[in-house]
Amino acid sequence: MNPAHRLVCVLTLLAQDLNNMIMGVPQISKEELKAQLDADDGSGPIVVDVRLKYPYEHSTVKIPGAIRLAPQKINLSKLPTDRNIVVYDSDPEDIVSESVVAVLNKRGYRASSLTGGILEWMTAKLPTEGKHAPKQAPPKAGALKG
Q: What share of the chain is helix, strand, coil (3-state, %, to 5)?
A: 40, 15, 45
Q: Is residue 140 part of a domain?
A: no
Please give the C-alpha separations between residue 51 and each of 26, 43, 66, 90, 134, in angstroms, as whole numbers.
18, 24, 12, 6, 16
pLDDT in tens, 16-31: 555 545 458 999 999 9
Residue 10 lies in a domain: no
pLDDT score of 8 more than 80:
no
pLDDT in tens, 48-91: 999 887 777 777 889 999 998 888 888 888 898 899 999 999 98
Q: Are 85 and 109 contacting, i.e. CB atoms less than 8 angstroms apart? A: yes
In-domain check, residue 31: yes
Q: Which of 33-42, 80-89, 132-141 has the lowest mean pLDDT?
A: 132-141
Say what the pTM is: 0.74
Q: pLDDT tens for residues 95-127?
A: 899 999 999 999 999 999 999 999 999 999 999
- 146 found inside a domain: no
| Residue 42 structural domain | 26-130
Residue 6 lies in a domain: no
16 is a domain residue: no
CATH of the domain at 69: 3.40.250.10
From CA 95, how far away is CA 90, in angstroms rounded? 9
Task: Name the DSSP class of 12.
Answer: H
**Structural domain total, the chain:** 1
d(CA 54, CA 41): 34
Half-sphere exposure of 112 (CA within 13 A, CB side): 13
Is 43 inside a domain boundary?
Answer: yes
Residue 39 is predicted with a pLDDT of 85
Helices (H), 24-94: 30-39, 53-57
Q: Does pLDDT of 92 surpass 70? A: yes
Give pLDDT, residue 98. 94
Asked if residue 5 is part of any domain, the answer here is no
Q: Which long-range contacts link 121-124 to residues 24+ away (Cβ below 8 Å)?
A: 121/30, 121/63, 121/88, 122/61, 124/30
